[in-house]
Amino acid sequence: MDAISVIRAKRDRGRLSDGQIDWVIDAYTRGEVADEQMSALAMAILLNGMDRAEIARWTAAMIASGERMDFSGLVRPTTDKHSTGGVGDKITLPLAPLVAACGAAVPQLSGRGLGHTGGTLDKLESIPGWRASLGNDEMLAVLADAGAVICAAGDGLAPADKKLYALRDVTGTVESIPLIASSIMSKKIAEGTGALVLDVKVGSGAFMKSLDDARELASTMVGLGTDHGVRTVALLTDMSTPLGRTAGNALEVRESVEVLAGGGPADVVELTLALAREMLDAAGLPDADPVKALADGSAMDVWRRMISAQGGDPSAPLPTAREQHVLTAPASGVLTALDAYAVGVAAWRLGAGRARKEDAVQAGAGVELHAKPGDTVAEGAPLLTLHTDTPERFQTALDALEGAFTLAPEGASFTPSPVILERIDRP
Ligand code: URA
């Protein structure tokens, strides 16, 4: 077996055999296949695709490149959620403790942000003292004690994906449905959860800009999960406008705590509850009541235990940015569109996100929305507040927001996009 013949096979629109896939993933993980060869193969896959059987084998080979976690010793059923990433998507923060408060165990291995979408670990690291890295034993201990744990995936989990994802990121090969599906599902299956709910985002702020692409990604992932014995369902959800009223690390933690306290923006609450019901159903707990767990404070109790168990102080004030700039409405009218991608890029440029893996993020940076699509605004009223420690960044953030919102004359009709667009439970 050699890398060049595998690359040529895919370049020439052929199918990769099981043997070719197993070999190339293993040899790449061991360093025998070079980055430039894997880049060429990733580009050939992006251009020519893989069929369902190839994707299944590719995923299995990436799982086999590392360890698999085992939660069979837990009394509670395990259930997890994965979002394909969006702007203002802080849902994991209230969701994990909420589902744990309803009786399931939630082992949530999360990532950092890259580009315009934020990362759950970056958000939680804005809580003073909170640690993302836990050893496997420590992770199990937090899970057994609090019922939920959110932490970084260890190096042993799907190491082939870790290497390949970093390579795709710098070679323009992220946006391939077979590569995205196998990347996400290899980690989730290796993580060992019994049930999985996928939140596949659709719209300008998401990887998938069209409903058709999102459907294909969702059904591919549902098929992969089901074939590996993980009860998997997907919701396709709107990402044409940011979720909630904040995009940025500490800003989003604050909003998540509002949800756990029984408040928070309607779209964040709606999606959190919908995903919680799916996770509980998939875990075999269909009668659990997440609305009650938000109202009676039990979800907030789990949040506080979970944050404390990882060194965080849930009562400590959250960091705020040193400087603010308010963008006001240029005219009175109805806000009919506020583009998710533009807000994500603005938050990123203000310092909430990173351009390279090794960059630091600013805890307080980001964008606060004072109006959401459908709201009526008066001329001169605040539309957005930009937050950063480095005010020289305001101009590039404002550039990103050029043309990002549409104001229609007062009284104009507006049809809101539903938060949840579709549910997919079979391949
Ligand atoms: N998230 C992942 O983990 N992998 C991808 O390929 C894309 C998003």
CATH superfamily of 3-49: Transferase, Pyrimidine Nucleoside Phosphorylase; Chain C (1.20.970.10)
- Please name the residue that has the structure tokens 């992932």: 221
CATH 3.40.1030.10 maps onto the chain at 80-156+167-316
**Where is average pLDDT lowest: 53-57, 162-166, 246-250, 259-263?**
162-166
Q: Poorest-confidence range of 90-94, 281-285, 389-393, 411-415?
A: 411-415
Instruction: Tell me the average pLDDT across 30-38.
Output: 97
For the record, the structure tokens of 154 come out as 């260890």
Pick the CATH number of 323-408 from 3.90.1170.30, 3.30.70.1400, 1.10.287.990, 3.10.180.10: 3.90.1170.30
* Of 165, 176, 208, 217, best ligand 1 pocket probe by most atoms within 8 Å of the beta carbon: 165
Residue nearest to atom 7 of ligand 1 (CA): 180
- The whole-chain average pLDDT of the chain stands at 96
Q: Which pair of tokens denotes residue 197?
A: 């709910």
Token reading at 212: 């058709």
Both tokens of 98, joined, read 């909420």
- Nearest ligand 1 atom to the CA of 187 is 3
Distance, in Å, from the CA atom of 361 to the CA atom of 248, rounded to the nearest integer, reads 10
Looking at residue 113, what is its pLDDT? Answer: 76
The rounded Å distance from CA 289 to ligand 1 centre is 31
Mutate to test the pocket of ligand 1, among 84, 183, 189 (most ligand atoms within 8 A of CB): 183
Q: Which protein residue has the closest C-alpha to ligand 1 atom 3?
A: 184
- According to DSSP, the residues that pair with 335 across neighbouring strands are 407
Ligand 1 centroid–CA 115 distance in Å is 13
> Residues of CATH 3.90.1170.30 domain(s) within the chain?
323-408
- For residue 180, the CA-to-ligand 1 centroid distance in Å is 5
Give me ligand 1 centre to Cα 381, in Å. Answer: 39
Residue 159: what residue type?
A: P
Kindly give the number of the ligand 1 atom that is closest to the alpha carbon of 85.
Answer: 8
3-state secondary structure 284-312: CCCCCCHHHHHHCCHHHHHHHHHHHHCCC
Residue 298, pLDDT > 70, answer yes
- Sequence-distant (6+) residues with CB within 8 A of 265 are 243, 244, 245, 255, 372
**H or E element: which one contains 386?**
strand 382-388
- CA–centroid distance, 204 to ligand 1, in Å, is 17
Pairing of strands 366-369, 382-388: antiparallel
Q: Which percentage of the chain shows pLDDT scores above 70?
A: 100
pLDDT digits (tens, 9 = 90+) for 134-185: 998 999 999 999 999 999 988 899 999 999 988 998 898 988 999 999 999 9
pLDDT-above-90 percentage for the chain: 90
**Alpha carbon distance 80, 38 (integer Å):** 30
Q: Which CATH number fits domain 80-156+167-316: 3.40.1030.10, 3.40.80.10, 3.40.50.300, 3.10.129.10?
A: 3.40.1030.10
Distances (CA, A) of 272 to 259, 308, 407, 424: 9, 22, 29, 17
Strands (E), 93-249: 106-110, 148-152, 195-202, 231-238, 246-248
Angstrom CA distances, 254 to 257, 258, 314, 376, stand at: 5, 6, 11, 25
Ligand 1: atom nearest CA of 168 is 6
Q: Report, as an integer, the average pLDDT of 56-72.
A: 96
Nearest CA to ligand 1 atom 2: 184
Alpha carbon 375 to its chain centroid, in Å, reads: 27
**Spatial distance between the Cα atoms of 255 and 87, rounded to a whole number of angstroms:** 14
Ligand 1 atom closest to 184 (CA): 3
- Which of 81, 83, 84 gets mutated to test ligand 1 (max ligand atoms within 8 A of its CB)? 84
The residue whose CA is least distant from atom 1 of ligand 1 is: 184
pLDDT for residue 188: 95
* Pairing relationship of beta strands 148-152 and 246-248 according to DSSP bridges: unpaired
Whether pLDDT at 304 is above 70: yes
Residues counted in the chain: 427
AA letter at 150: I
In angstroms, what is the span from residue 263 Cα to ligand 1's centroid? 31
Q: How far is CA 213 from CA 201, 204, 207, 316, 421, in A?
A: 10, 13, 9, 42, 13
**What's the pLDDT score for residue 250?**
98
How much is the pLDDT for 356?
75
- Alpha carbons within 13 angstroms on the beta-carbon side of residue 128 total 8
Ligand 1 site: residues with CB under 6 angstroms? 165, 174, 179-180, 183-184
Indicate the top mutation candidate among 120, 169, 174 to test ligand 1's pocket, ranked by most ligand atoms within 8 A of CB: 174
Distance from residue 62's CA to the centre of ligand 1 (Å): 13
Amino acid sitting at position 54: E
> Ligand 1, atom 5: nearest CA belongs to which residue?
180
Measured distance CA(251)–CA(173) in Å, rounded: 31
Mean pLDDT within 318-332: 98
Give the Å distances, CA to CA, from 203 to 90, 147, 280, 342: 17, 33, 27, 12
d(CA 240, CA 96): 24
Phi-psi region of 424 (alpha: psi -120 to 50; beta: other; left: phi over 0): beta
Centre of ligand 1 from the C-alpha of residue 1, in Å = 28
Contact 249, 125 (CB under 8 A): yes
Q: What is the residue with the minimal CA distance to atom 6 of ligand 1?
A: 180
Q: Kindly report whether the global pTM for this prediction surpasses the value 0.85.
A: yes
Mean pLDDT of 391-401: 98
For the cut 90, the answer to whether the pLDDT of residue 427 exceeds it is no
Residue extent(s) of CATH 1.20.970.10 domains in the chain:
3-49
pLDDT band at 114 (very low <50, low <70, confident <90, very high): low
CA 227 to chain centre: 23
Show which residues are catalytic: 82, 161, 168, 183, 187
